[in-house]
Amino acid sequence: MRHPDTIPETNPPATATPIEKIETSRRSLLRGLGLASVGAAALAAGCSKVGTEASAAPAPATPAPDTSGPAILGANESPFGPSKKAVEAMIAKAALTARYADGEGEELKKQIATIEGVSPDQIFLSNGSGPILAAFGEMVAAKGKGQLVTSIATYEGVPRTVAGYGAEVIMTPLTADLSVDLDAMAAKISKKTTATYICNPNNPTGNMVDPVKLKAFAIEASKTAPCFIDEAYLHLCDDYDGNVMTSLVREGHNVIVCRTFSKIYGMAGQRLGYGIASAELAGKLGQVTRGGGVNHAGIVAAMASLADTDFVPTMRPKFKAGRERLFAMAKALNRPIAANPQASFVFFDVGMPNKVFAEKMMAEGVRVVGRSWKGYDNWTRICVGEDWELDRCEAALKKVLTA
Ligand SMILES: Cc1ncc(COP(=O)(O)O)c(C=O)c1O
């Protein structure tokens, strides 16, 4: 199944074929990693000899950015790529992909458990966090008899699955400042409720809920049914320590915290996510999400990323600078905007259906998300890109929104 944000809603400019677009994006990332000289053949070959050559090669001079394809600002991927150490680990271990990665998976669980202060049996892995949201949604849909309480304009993974199984989804409105309204959600919880879902920072609005209120909400809500907190973007926010909710799992509340390596760790295409929950729930959900096993390259890349302790502190200011630039662009055009974005994107009113806006932006060589969120048809979400992508976006926004 395709990621909802990568479904092309609009045609790229005639100058770039789909293959060229992928090539541009791949070249940009390799350039960022200082691995441009390794090339596609070396990455594809993936043998340890190549790995040795890649890591021994002198750092190439950074060539000018390749701007021939569209700016890709629609799917909240990282324009900065993964840790170099993750790439080196994947190349060095590529030949091991002949084997299932159960042993390495257990090692990764131990590594995450140590960081999170839980036991390894409280961690479960998945090929990206999307399958975790889907497995949870299927579980709480309870064969069509369940009920999910969540917010309007939030990430669709869980609500879409619950609705797909014919169960009830209650979506409470956002507050006046476009934040998830925890009081409104609490008021909807009843004996029928089989789960609550909160995304923090929220996708697509980008803002966060007050951590004291979230803790109180989750403790209360989890007395009725599991409370799922999606922290896909938490590493990008200004105050990770003040907002992380894993203490709720450690304290024994019926809470699931979900993470992904797709965002700050720059591994969206590699697919690795994990959940933190009680050992019982982690065991149950892990049975579903690991299916035939979790991908070997993703596991070794995740392990190397976590061991590269400089990586997150290096990436966080890059995303912050990008989202502040996007915020300033929307503000300068007097657009209503969700305040205080803390993820990798901003959410603002473009005064026309988002699909139309996306088509106009694509005509200017900028891909933005072409779908909209219930109740926010005229709002778009634009994510951080490389400098040249943001330059092009700024010019396109001026043209499209002031014409
Ligand atoms: C809030 C949130 N959770 C989960 C996901 C799923 O991401 P992945 O399957 O790449 O881990 C996304 C993807 O954009 C997201 O925005």
| CATH code of the domain covering residue 385 | 3.90.1150.10
Question: Do 99 and 171 fall within a single domain?
Answer: yes
Residues 174 and 224 in one domain: yes
CA distance 168 to 124: 27
The CA 321 to ligand 1 mean position distance, Å, reads 22
Q: Is the pLDDT of residue 40 over 60?
A: no
Q: Which pLDDT value is given to residue 288?
A: 82
* C-alpha of residue 383 to centroid of ligand 1, in Å: 14
User: Do 269 and 342 fall within a single domain?
Assistant: no
User: Quick one: average pLDDT of 291-313?
Assistant: 93
The model's confidence at residue 25, banded by pLDDT at 50, 70 and 90, is: low
The reply to whether 198 and 266 lie within a common domain is yes
Look at the chain and report how many structural domains it folds into.
2
The reply to whether 120 and 251 lie within a common domain is yes
For a mutational test of ligand 1's pocket, the pick from 76, 235, 260, 289, i.e. the residue with the most ligand atoms closer than 8 A to its C-beta, is: 260
Residue of 7, 129, 158 to mutate, ligand 1, most atoms within 8 A of C-beta: 129
β 366-367/379-383 pair status: unpaired
pLDDT recorded at residue 6: 57
Q: Measuring from atom 2 of ligand 1, which residue has the nearest CA? A: 232
* pLDDT beyond 70 at 377: yes
User: What atom of ligand 1 comes closest to residue 261's alpha carbon?
Assistant: 11
Whether 88 is covered by a domain: the verdict is: no
Instruction: At 371, give phi and psi (nearest 5°).
Output: -105, 170
Instruction: Answer yes or no: do 321 and 368 share one domain.
Output: yes
Residue 87 within any structural domain of the chain: no
Q: Where is the domain boundary, 289, 307, 325? A: 307
Please tell me if the CB atom of residue 54 comes closer than 6 angstroms to any atom of ligand 1: no
Residue 343 lies in a domain: yes
Q: Which atom of ligand 1 is nearest to the CA of 155?
A: 1
Q: Do 375 and 292 share a domain, yes or no?
A: no
159 in the same domain as 302: yes
The secondary structure element, H or E, covering residue 324 is helix 311-332
Q: Are residues 226 and 150 in the same domain?
A: yes
Domain that holds residue 365: 4-82+311-402
Question: Are 217 and 320 in the same domain?
Answer: no
C-beta 232 within 6 A of ligand 1: yes
Greater confidence (35 vs 167) lies with 167
Residue at which a domain ends, from 245, 278, 307: 307
Does ligand 1 have an atom closer than 6 angstroms to the CB of 128? Answer: yes
Q: Does 195 fall in a domain?
A: yes
| pLDDT for residue 97 | 85
The model's confidence at residue 26, banded by pLDDT at 50, 70 and 90, is very low
Stronger pLDDT, 183 or 97, i.e. the higher one: 183
Stretch among 54-58, 356-360, 373-377 having the lowest mean pLDDT: 54-58
Q: Which atom of ligand 1 is nearest to the CA of 132?
A: 9
Instruction: Please name the amino acid found at residue 124.
Output: F
For residues 157 and 289, membership in a common domain is answered with yes
Q: Are residues 283 and 159 in the same domain?
A: yes
203 lines ligand 1 (CB under 6 A): yes
Q: Is 148 helix (H, G, I), strand (E, B) or coil?
A: strand
The average pLDDT across 85-103 equals 92
- The whole-number pLDDT of residue 58 equals 52
Q: Is residue 184 part of a domain?
A: yes
Quick: pLDDT tens for 175-220: 999 999 999 999 999 999 999 999 999 999 999 999 999 999 999 9
- In this prediction, residue 271 has a pLDDT band, given cuts at 50, 70 and 90, of very high
CA distances from residue 313 to 87, 89, 206, 232, 298 in whole angstroms, order as listed? 18, 20, 20, 16, 21
- The answer as to whether 362 is a domain residue is yes
